[in-house]
A = this chain, B = another copy of it.
């Protein structure tokens, strides 16, 4: 040991990994970091993984399924011990391909199949309750603003969470006896405006797939000089930090990102040890009150 110190010996983790067959590395496959939701989650995961002695290999897909496949191949070659996967791919082949790798995988945001543990919020339930929450504020007409889910589907992309949220909206609407669901896809100002205007005198709210959409709708309302929440109600999803700086404060669906990251890593580590897939974890959520409803 004395000689080792004198020669300034440093163990070579590469050789160690090769010999021991484990890299002590976790791969994170994520969309992007521009979105604060993803960035926060990666931030939390890194911290917890590091505490547990694991390193992070980060790969971003920017929504490109090809990049995801390539990224998975890289992670396989690099022999990461586990993967946190925000997937944009979806087909049966992909699921069996992932399964064949024999690498523990935990999915988040989009589910791939029942074969992989999923950690997240029960988006369907959250949106169903959000509809009731909005109705409770006296709105008689509730629109849903989704991303361009149909075209994403056509491109063979994974739209699990978008679909869940939309289904939750539809279910919520049925349960409160409103039978004219209106789903908008993408932020086309014309389309959104005319949908809002066709209200036949009923107070209208718009439930958005995410806070970014909600913020854009708010911008639109300001431009059109519509009063929020008087003329138009707005609700977002994710409760991003940024909302607190925007007036009026947009109501949103929030959850504990730190806890989510914690569970993600815990379950992944569990899977890595026991070699058996763990059960899903559904997080709690809560509505953050604001001035937009």
Contact = CB atoms under 8 A, between A and B. Distances in A.
Interface of A: 10-15, 17-18, 23, 32-34, 36, 39-40, 42-43, 46-47, 50, 55-60, 62, 74, 76-79, 215, 219, 222, 241-242, 245-247
A117 to B, nearest CB: 23
Nearest to A73: B10
B42 A33 contact: yes
Contacts of A43: 32-34, 60
Give the most central of A10, A14, A56, A219: most B CB within 10 Å.
Answer: A14
Contacts of A57: 55-58
Contacts of A14: 14, 17-18, 23, 78-79
A256 to B, nearest CB: 15
A34 B40 contact: yes
A227 to B, nearest CB: 15
Contacts of A40: 33-34
A39 B34 CA distance: 6
A11 B10 CA distance: 27
B34 A60 contact: no
Given A12-B79, A222-B247, 12 more contacts: A12-B18, A12-B77, A13-B78, A14-B17, A33-B40, A34-B36, A34-B39, A36-B39, A46-B59, A47-B62, A55-B74, A247-B247
Give the most central of A57, A60, A219: most B CB within 10 Å.
Answer: A60
A34 B258 CA distance: 12
Contacts of A219: 245
B11 A77 contact: yes
Given A33-B33, A36-B36, A40-B33, A10 B60 contact: no
Contacts of A56: 57-59
A259 to B, nearest CB: 16
22 contacts: A10-B77, A12-B18, A12-B77, A13-B74, A13-B77, A13-B78, A14-B18, A14-B79, A18-B18, A33-B43, A42-B58, A43-B60, A47-B60, A55-B57, A55-B74, A56-B57, A56-B58, A215-B245, A242-B242, A242-B245, A245-B246, A246-B246
A281 to B, nearest CB: 23
A234 to B, nearest CB: 13
A34 B11 CA distance: 33
